[in-house]
């Protein structure tokens, strides 16, 4: 579980542990990871592994250390992600590299290092946490949209490559979710949290944001045998936002 110390990642780790899975959570902030692992440890076997998914050496080490400590990886959830809201002309090259590096390159690297073991065992499920912004354009989010759109097509292509190997690869595309990242965006907007959230959710048919637990249940479904005939899918969980 990449990006497992808060928000969707933390909620998903909890959901998997409640189903009896052994879980590794990864992230760049060791303090937050340890805090999250302590919060989860009463539910089952959980380990925290610090690393940056956008760096090949870190991604490879996270996969090997997870295997060493927990056994072969049956499910990979590529959840780590960052968001920068700026029009394209205001984006710096450094910001572009950061968004694409974590969101898309991180997904590529973790998948690259997990796949060989899954192929040998002829089993495995990969769930990529994309976004509704990977399916439709979002104003002010061109680079983020590009990274998440790339994740969706990467999901489909890898699914086609490895369907014969018993590996399923799917994407979940959340809309707005009440996470620490959304709270940071609200703070940066200069608006109060409630005002920011109201403006953000007004266009959504269900008129609210998701709770992280609602996205976690979708991830759990895509990783489980309940979705055994699904591969190469991009499943929207967005309150109807992309149905317009």
Sign of CA dihedral 64, 174, 13, 74: negative
- Kindly report the pTM of this predicted structure: 0.95
Residue 96 lies in a domain: yes
Q: Of 138 and 56, which is predicted with more confidence?
A: 56
Q: For all residues of the chain together, what is the average pLDDT?
A: 95
Sign of CA dihedral 206, 207, 213, 219: positive
Residue 187 has pLDDT above 90, yes or no: no
Helix, strand, or coil (residue 49): strand
The CATH number of whichever domain residue 103 belongs to comes to: 3.40.50.720
Contact between 1 and 79 under an 8 Å Cβ cutoff? The reply is yes
Residue 100 lies in a domain: yes
Q: What is the pLDDT of residue 113?
A: 98
Mean pLDDT of 149-174: 98
Strands of the 75-78 sheet, one edge to the other: 75-78, 124-129, 167-174, 234-237
Provide the phi-psi class of 44: left if phi over 0, else alpha when psi is between -120 and 50, else beta: left
Residue 25 lies in a domain: no
Tokens of 122: 């002829």
Residue 9 lies in a domain: no
Mean pLDDT of 83-93: 93
Tokens of 7: 């928000």
Band (pLDDT 50/70/90 cuts) for residue 180 is confident
Distances in Å between the Cα of 45 and the Cα atoms of 34, 40, 72 are 14, 9, 14
- Of 96, 144, 193, 196, catalytic: 144
Residue 188 has pLDDT above 80, yes or no: no
Residue 34 has pLDDT above 90, yes or no: yes
Residue 74 lies in a domain: yes
Mean pLDDT of 127-150: 96
Q: What is the pLDDT of residue 199?
A: 87
Domain of residue 228, residue span: 51-243
Mean pLDDT of 58-71: 98
Residue 224 lies in a domain: yes
Band (pLDDT 50/70/90 cuts) for residue 81 is very high
Residue 179 lies in a domain: yes
Band (pLDDT 50/70/90 cuts) for residue 3 is very high
Clarify whether 96 is annotated catalytic: no
Residue 200 has pLDDT above 90, yes or no: no
The model's pLDDT over 207-241, given as tens digits with 9 standing for 90+, comes to: 999 999 999 999 999 999 999 999 999 999 999 99
Please state the domain count of the chain.
Answer: 1
């Amino acid at each position: 579980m990449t990006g497992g110390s808060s928000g969707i990642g933390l909620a998903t780790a909890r959901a998997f542990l409640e189903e009896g899975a052994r879980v590794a959570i990864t992230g760049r902030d060791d303090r937050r990871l340890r805090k999250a692992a302590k919060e989860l440890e009463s539910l089952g076997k959980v380990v925290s592994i610090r690393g940056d998914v956008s760096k090949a050496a870190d991604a490879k080490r996270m996969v090997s250390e997870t295997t060493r400590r927990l056994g072969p990886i049956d499910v990979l959830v590529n959840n780590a992600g960052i968001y920068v809201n700026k029009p394209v002309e205001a984006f710096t090259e450094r910001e572009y590299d950061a968004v694409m590096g974590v969101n898309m390159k991180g997904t590529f690297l973790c998948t690259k290092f997990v796949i060989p073991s899954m192929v040998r065992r002829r089993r495995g499920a990969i769930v990529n946490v994309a976004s509704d912004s990977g399916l439709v354009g979002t104003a002010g989010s061109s680079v983020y949209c590009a990274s998440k759109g790339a994740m969706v097509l990467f999901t489909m292509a890898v699914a086609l490559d490895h369907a014969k190997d018993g590996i399923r690869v799917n994407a979940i595309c959340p809309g707005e979710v009440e996470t620490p990242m959304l709270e940071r965006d609200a703070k940066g907007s200069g608006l109060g949290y409630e005002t920011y959230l109201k403006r953000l959710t007004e266009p959504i048919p269900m008129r609210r944001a998701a709770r992280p637990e609602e996205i976690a249940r979708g991830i759990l479904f895509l990783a489980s045998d309940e979705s055994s005939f699904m591969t190469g899918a991009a499943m929207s969980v967005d309150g109807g936002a992309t149905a317009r």
